[in-house]
Structure 1
């Protein structure tokens, strides 16, 4: 997913998080002006600035890099223009979202924030957002979702020949490094977020010394335990998975290495990494068997009121109380978990590989049945995970083909959406305006 698609996805899901609205009340008041006109509808500078702040807040909460302000502003304005065009298209072609659907969406937002509707409305008012504005944005989100389902997903056609071709290619083509299954181990020499250039240079020298020790024959696993700032369990291994689910930097640094090979130093936002290839497997043919996992979890979402550190400490305490027998995992999930599985005691049901985000799945896969993890940080918040059981399930030929069909449909969505959106844009009147001098 490119960053423009990511900005669009943030816009579509952000209404489920109240944090996205607080920035409106904090915006300083400045003289406003029109920056774009879309089919006679204006987009103002204050609207763009407010959306840029909201997207920035979400990226920071998800601990993702934030583009330079002007670049982010350009991306946000483009997305807003496209949204206006698409909402007009939806209205003109008869898509309507009734009050009952908006009511249900509003209730969902309240439930996700573990409050009732009156409390939700109070929090919106405190942040300077009227209920009418909030409901209008919910209605727009639902309208766009229905339009995309009808006009974008409806364009995607996966034929039987497409499925056969994919299965044949999967069997014949083992040359793409991103289709390989790999397991990497890492040593992370952390660099503080606000480190100076001099501090960073000194830390890089430390990383070089560690790499020299490895080249001289010292055991990688022992150095993981001695020096790594990342997870040291299982020798620092990150888990066997498709290469495209690893950071691209890691894949690039190791794709020419054989099993046991050690990379040069890799720089990331976290610091300096030294990577060892633990295992490599060529892509298999269509999967006939899968190992399904059934787990339960407790999710705490982090925000201004609950820091990541506090969430980790809280779940660590919960784990100790469960292990001591003073409570149960299910009871704590019902009381604390901030997602839809809470009512089921955190039970996530049977899951095929790849259904969860990598940072969650890697930890779950290392658990034995009945084990409870330490707190796990993901893009959604902080989790406590318990593995209930595993089972090996054979897929029949029809299930294999349906799985391939779904993969192809997902892989073609962004291209289909982009083409469709460009076609709408070409038919619309769009005037971009320069700021007043």
Structure 2
């Protein structure tokens, strides 16, 4: 496909590709028009609702802006108008179906999604709101559109995504039909970094004090402080606010001092303190991939989840889970508490067991807390877009996920194709069942 038009834009959100970049652009797609023209003709009746000429013109401007931003060609005006109008009809129908099913994004979901967008853009929620308003978009319109996207996501998840399965046989056949190249990939490492800066005018005695401080930071990490938290507290590097994360880097492009420090490390381990002209460094190897290996540090995690609930409110949900936490700290078994209280239907029968998780498998706000836990330690109460959590790490291990990564990529490709196909069939069926009456034909 060359372009996911407006109604199709909800699919990447469901597939995990991310709709958050569109959230800054798509604010006016279905929301009410402001500054309307003196005469705003009704173009189409969609069941009990209407699409007006002014709404269509705003949507066309939005689509043109997205096409320009992505470097894609813009269709001739008549073809573009016809396509955009059809996509608006399909989006309106989906919203109507969601309403009939009682599907609507809750305030808690809206708050969590907004916070997630801000985090992805590395902005505070207040700063993101200021940026939205500075662009001339009323913040209420922004939230209305975000709620619309979340609502349609829930609808698609319920009607399509939950019903899609991928069998082991399908994965095997996919890998036979799409063999992976035999050439080795460059070795890459995912790193976290702490720098204790060493200004050039320091005397030797002061430099030794800095070295001792770096050693003290490493001792704190060995005693249980998470590396990312230590980076936020003590590092002088630019990436300190991101927990010291350097992301994925090719080994061949790293300074020789870094390569030497990483040489003997397994994923999850921390280097000794080493010095460069800039200061004293610590590195944590998060994962290694390339060649024939994908080495990562995995954690086996169990959790207790209380889902967001507008009736109770965040404060009461947090208090309830804190009471459960205190019972666990007093000696109650975590798995028993999970079976009694967790609202995660998938993991409750197994005592909250989420299985072995790799970096990135959990929401960032939850992962940053779990990585600091010692084996068997119960976390503080933490919030994610799914609700409120308690968590425990029961085991840790280093694992080569090369073959699993290949099979998971195949599974995802098959799943996305199935979702795409079933979505096309489903939305065509909705279109055929809907009452759509053109009051004014395009071009009139």
Q: Considering only CA atoms, is the larger Rg found in Structure 1 or Structure 2?
A: 2
